[in-house]
Structure 1
Amino acid sequence: MKILIVGAGAVGGYFGARLQQAGRDVTFLVRDKRAALLREHGLRVKSPAGDLTLHDLQLVGSSELQPKYDLVILSCKAYDLDDAITSVAPAIGGDAVILPLLNGMQHLDILEQRFGANRVLGGQCVVASTMDADGVIRHLGTVHGLTFGECAGGVSARARQIHEALSGAGFDVTLSENILQSMWEKWTMLATLASATSMMRAAIGDILQGPGGPQFLEGVLAECAGIAELQGYKPGETFYNRTRGVLSEHGSTLTASMFRDISANARVEADHVVGDLIRRGDAKGAKTTLLQLAYLHLKSYEAQRARMLG
């Protein structure tokens, strides 16, 4: 199976490196600056699961793409999705299928409209990784998993083939019969964590120490989960047990990556993670009071950042 990884950053570069190390046919779609760095130093991964430095890389630019790939893995930030679609479009032909690893759900609508629903899988990943200024990908923990499946549900022959191609590459792979349920549950948790820690500019343990902190966290979770339920994806008991455990851990230093982006004065996925959830909730008459306050906070940050950058 010929696999195209869009980008070679913290997520795509990590999983792509593992796949190539395992002998898979992997090509990276990268911009000129990243390509030059990779050619000079290789694709470098520092990880508790084993360090990698790969030099024999297949690199391609958008203008060189041809529709010869079976699987296209897309792992950009939501605010870069339009540019990523423009760049990767020449590769989408034949039986190519797209596996996006973005947060939320809005990207599925956009990709399906652009390339057709039959070409788009549902997917999500769990990996704490960053890329430093020297282009080294740093895996910050031991968790590195990828879950995917057909958006329509069930298990197809092509999904089994993709599962086989991705398995045995040094990270966890799960083929889901109900990937949209998994994606909604992850979105619910992410939106809760992002809204709460970004709005309070504090970790979970710090929020819990404040007056009304536990009730605030439970309120944000209730709003997010309520939207998921109205959309037909009620979170399950296992999800609630796990999530409430995370949100009630005193002393926890857990924050959302969105909060860390704010701290670094970086761009945030406000519209994709929180704004789109509110939009879907409003369409169903859901209560979104706390989410709207969090969204106002994030959009105010974006406006301030734009003004400061000129």
Structure 2
Amino acid sequence: MKVLVLGAGGIGGYFGARLAEKGVDTTFLVRERRYAQLAERGLRVQSIHGDVQIAQPQLIRAGEEAGPFDVVLLSNKAYTLAESIADIAPYVGEETVVIPLLNGIAHMELLWEKFGRERVLGGLCFIETTLNADGDVVQTSPIHDAVFGEWEGGLSERVERIAEAFSGVNGSMRASANIQRDAWQKYLFIATLSGITTLMNAAVGPIRESAYGIELTRQLAEECASVIRALGAPIREDIVDKQMDTFRGQGAAMKSSMLRDMEKGLPVEGDHIQGYLLAHAERLGLSTPLLKVVYNNLKVYEQKRSADK
């Protein structure tokens, strides 16, 4: 099986390296600067689950001839989605399957519109990872899972083939028979986690220990869940309770990737994650006061970032 990974940052670099480590034919589609960095240094992963170095990763830049590919893994940020779709389009053939590992849900419509529902699986990942100053992937979370499946449910023959090819990696790259539910529930968790950590500008530990940290985190989760349920998404009735248990059990130093991006002065996915929910809340007449505060905080950050540039 031939796999194309869009990007070699924290997520694409990690899961792509694990696939290459196993022996899967894996190619990385990267920008010029990252291409030069990886060509010189190789793809290096520092992980609590074991380090790996791919000395000569297979690399291409947008527009170069390559393929055909059986699977395209999207690991980009949502704010680069339009550009990313254009970059991978030449490598998506009649039998290619696209698996997005982006946060949120809004990207699915754009991928379906471009490639057709039949070529796009649902996908998500659970991992804490970033790039260090040398461009190495640093992975720190006990969980390092990628999940994929047919959006309408069930385990198809093609999903089982992909699952078989991905089996045995150092990590978990597994199929789900209910990826739509999984994706919405992950969306709820990441909207809450990224929202509360960016609002408080703190990791999970200090938030939990603060006077109203747990209360405010639950309020944000309940507001987000109310919007998701109003949209008819198939989330569990007890999902907020389950995710609050997860929040309480996170390591004290745990930060959302959005907070890490803010600390580096990078763009954030506020419109794609919190903004998407807030727009639907306003359309549906739902009250989400804390979600508004979270989103406003992200927009203020963007304004300050733009002014600084």
Would you call these one fold, judging by a TM-score over 0.5?
yes
2:206 alignment partner in structure 1: 206
Amino acid of the structure 1 residue aligned with 2:162: I
Q: How does 1:101-112 map to 2 (within 5 A)?
A: 101-112=101-112
Change (3 A) 1:227 1:234: farther
Shift in Å at residue 302 of structure 1? 0.3
Q: Which runs of 5+ in 1 are unaligned?
A: none
Deviation at 1:241, TM superposition (A): 3.7
Q: Deviations over 1:81-105 (max 9, x none)?
A: 1221111111011211100000000
Q: Aligned letter for 1:215?
A: E
How far apart, CA to CA, are the structure 2 residues paired with 1:162 and 1:208?
39
Q: Distance in 1 between matches of 2:210 and 2:271?
A: 28
Specify the alignment match of 1:46 in structure 2.
Answer: 46
Task: Report the counterpart of residue 147 of structure 1 in structure 2.
Answer: 147
Does structure 1 residue 95 correspond to structure 2 residue 95? yes
Q: Is 1:156 aligned with 2:156?
A: yes
Alignment of 1:52-201 (within 5 A): 52-66=52-66, 68-201=68-201
User: Structure 1 pair 88/203, CA: closer, same or farther in 2 (3 Å)?
Assistant: same
Distance 1:245 1:64 in 2: 47
Distance 2:191 2:6 in 1: 25
Partner residue in 2 for 1:4: 4
Amino acid at match of 1:98: V
Distance in 1, Cα, partners of 2:133 & 2:160: 37
| Offset, 1:64 | 1.2
The residue identity in structure 2 corresponding to 1:275 is G
Q: TM-score if structure 1 supplies the norm length?
A: 0.92
CA distance in 2, matches of 1:140, 1:248: 18
Contact 1:149 1:155 in 2 (8 A): yes
Q: Residue 174 of structure 2 aligns to a residue in which SS?
A: strand
**Shift of the alpha carbon at 1:67?**
5.3
| Alignment check: 8 A CA contact 1:225 1:234 kept | no
Q: CA RMSD in A?
A: 2.0
- Structure 1 residues 134 and 191 mapped into 2: Cα distance closer, same or farther (>3 Å)? same
The C-alpha deviation readout for 1:220-246, integer Å capped at 9, x for no partner, is 111011112112235326633432224
What amino acid is the match of 1:122? G
Deviation at 1:283, TM superposition (A): 3.3
Distance in 2 separating the partners of 1:208 and 1:37: 39
Residue deviations 1:73-125 (CA, integer Å, cap 9, x gap):
01011111122111111101121110000000011111111111111111011
Q: Structure 1 residue 213: deviation in Å?
A: 3.6
Aligned residue identity for 1:155: L
Structure 1 residue 257: deviation in Å? 2.2
Tell me the secondary structure at the aligned position of residue 143 of structure 1: coil
Q: Label 1:221 to 1:132 Cα distance change in 2 as closer, same or farther (>3 A).
A: same
Q: Indicate whether 1:215 and 2:215 are aligned.
A: yes
Deviations 1:147-194 (A, max 9, x none): 111111111111111111111111112211111111111111111122
Q: Distance in 1 between matches of 2:245 and 2:9?
A: 31
Alpha-carbon contact 1:67-1:94 (below 8 Å) kept = no
Q: CA deviation at 1:210?
A: 4.4
What is the number of equivalent residue pairs in this alignment? 309
AA at the equivalent of 2:44: R
Q: Relative to 1, partners in 2 of residues 1:49 and 1:216: Cα closer, same or farther, differing over 3 Å?
A: closer
Structure-1 separation of matches of 2:56 and 2:14 = 16
Deviations 1:10-58 (A, max 9, x none): 1111111111111111111122222222222211111222221212432
- Name 1:265's counterpart in structure 2: 265
Cα separation, 2, equivalents of 1:30 and 1:215: 42
What letter matches 2:11 in structure 1? V
- Is 1:227 aligned to residue 227 of structure 2? yes
Q: Is the 8 A contact 2:180 2:234 kept in 1?
A: no
